[in-house]
Amino acid sequence: MNADISKKFVIEKAQKSRFHEVDFENLLFGKVFTDHMFECDFVDGAWQTPTIRPYQPIMVEPSWKVFHYGQAVFEGMKAYKDENDQIFMFRPDQNQERINKSAVRLAIPEFPKEWFFEALNRLLVLDQQWIRKGLGNVLYIRPFVFATEPAILAAPSTTYKFMVIMSPVKSYFRGDVSVVIAQHYSRSADGGVGAAKAAGNYAGQFFPTNLAAKEGYQQVIWTDANTHTYLEEAGTMNVFFRINDTLLTAPVSDRILDGVTRKSIIDLAENEGIPVEVRKVTVHELVAAAKDGSLKEIFGAGTAVTVGPVKSFAYDGVDYPVIPPAESYAARFKERLLNIQYNLAPDPFGWRYQVTENNY
């Protein structure tokens, strides 16, 4: 690893907390940030001193490569507090591995695992009052890394900045969404960057998602770029289908992001004896199941909403309603995940990670 990991963190504490200025009952997702942030620069072929300082703007140069060539990847994680003020994260090892996989795909140097965990533990302990108790209160954590070389030559940057910022959010009931199946646009392609959490993947989705919104659909179900016949992801989430009592989801590939929520749901389903098929699912199969009544549920899976039910899908200009049975898989998996995340239930899989002053 390109860092001297024995280096000590430099910590500059905020003089005064902004906590009391925040209206926690009316939080807009990702608009308010905690008192501190983490920052570490890659210079001269190595990650330099890891630093925690008060959340503040950074100075940028207009020539930074990230602005011109989009060399940037990120992660999305959450921290939860239980009734005894203990702080937990959910499978953070998965995010740590994934940000480095994403980085490799974008020719960005990997960040040391030890520092990733030390940064998160230290930040979360420092800003622990920002994680509020109670189901629905959560702290969203955004690690990200981007190219900072001031040069517009189209080649990988020689310098980078790794940062972590954190935002308190409230998970409101979002409401079930209507989706449209993509028949023209794509979010990823074979051999592309779809499996990386690359910033540009999101930029590329905004325009087709806006077009869908004009037609009254909140999300797009992405299909394979070549044939538009295989169902791959729902917006920025992995997607599950329930046909009769079988749970179906596409295998991960270089077009599909390997989501932590997705793989956890597969494990939960197998643990409960629910039949799971990880295989390609076609649009035609979905339409046929909607027509003959065997399609029971569609839901997205991702850290932001955990599980997001879909109430209808559109294909070839026809809307198909999806009416989940009372015993909904989406509701069941959401509850099981939340209970593990908030330390309200045993954790047979060892997914919960306790945050402490020195858990790294």
Structure tokens given for 358: 């020195």
Q: Which of residues 208-237 bind ligand PLP (CB under 6 A)?
A: 233, 236-237
When asked if residue 259 is in the footprint of ligand PLP (CB under 6 A), the reply is yes
- Residue 112 sits in the site that holds ligand PLP (CB under 6 A): no
The torsion angles phi and psi of 287, rounded to 5 degrees, stand at -65, -45
The secondary structure element, H or E, covering residue 200 is: helix 199-214
C-alpha 198/C-alpha 71 separation (Å) is 8
| Closer of 204 and 324 to ligand PLP (Cβ) | 204
Shortest Å distance, C-beta 63 to ligand PLP: 28
Q: Which is nearer to ligand PLP, 157 or 261 (CB)?
A: 261
Residue 7 or 142: the one with the smaller Cβ distance to ligand PLP is 142
Query: For residues 200 and 332, is the Cβ–Cβ distance under 8 A?
Result: no
Q: Which is nearer to ligand PLP, 52 or 269 (CB)?
A: 269
Q: What is the Cα–Cα distance from 80 to 90, expressed in whole angstroms? A: 9
- Exactly one of 261, 269, 315, 324 binds ligand PLP (CB under 6 A); which one? 261
With beta carbons less than 8 A apart as the criterion, state whether 35 and 14 touch.
yes
Smaller CB separation from ligand PLP, 64 or 90: 90
- Contact positions with ligand PLP (CB under 6 A) in 129-168: none
Instruction: Using DSSP bridges, classify how beta strands 237-243 and 231-234 pair: parallel, antiparallel or unpaired.
Output: antiparallel
Options 38-46, 117-125, 247-255, 297-305: segment touching ligand PLP (CB under 6 A): 297-305
Binding mask 51-90 for ligand PLP (x = CB under 6 A): -------------------------x--------------
- Closest contact distance (angstroms) between CB of 183 and ligand PLP is 19
Integer Rg of the chain from CA: 21
**E strand map for the chain:** 10-11, 36-43, 46-47, 51-54, 72-74, 77-81, 87-90, 137-147, 160-170, 177-181, 219-223, 231-234, 237-243, 246-249, 276-278, 295-302, 306-315, 318-321, 352-355
Which of 164, 182, 199, 260 touches ligand PLP by CB under 6 A?
260
Largest CA distance in the chain: 63
* Minimum distance of ligand PLP from residue 39's CB (angstroms): 23
Q: Is the Cβ of residue 151 or residue 252 nearer to ligand PLP in the bound state?
A: 252
Query: What's the number of CA atoms in the CB half-sphere (13 Å) around residue 134?
Result: 11
- State the sign of the Cα–Cα–Cα–Cα dihedral 120, 123, 128, 130: negative
What tokens were used for 15? 């003089």
Contacting ligand PLP within 321-350 (CB under 6 A): none
Binding segment for ligand PLP (CB under 6 A), chosen from 9-17, 113-121, 260-268, 283-291, is: 260-268
Tokens describing residue 108: 């960005």
Among 179, 257, 314, 322, binds ligand PLP (CB under 6 A): 257
Residue 50 binding ligand PLP, by CB under 6 A? no
- Pick from 34, 71, 148, 303 the residue near ligand PLP by CB under 6 A: 303
Total length of the chain: 360
Choose the stretch contacting ligand PLP; rule: CB under 6 A; options: 7-15, 148-156, 258-266, 343-351. Answer: 258-266
Provide the minimum distance between the beta carbon of 26 and ligand PLP in the complex, in angstroms, as a whole number. 25
Burial of 77 (0-12, 13-18, 19+ CB in 10 A): buried
Q: Tell whether residue 197 is a contact of ligand PLP (CB under 6 A).
A: yes
What is the DSSP code string of 127-159?
A: TGGGS--STTEEEEEEEEEEE--B--SSS--S-
Task: Give how many residues touch ligand PLP by CB under 6 A.
Answer: 14
Q: Shortest distance, CB of residue 166 to ligand PLP, whole angstroms? A: 16
Residues that bind ligand PLP (CB under 6 A): 76, 197, 233, 236-238, 257, 259-262, 301-303
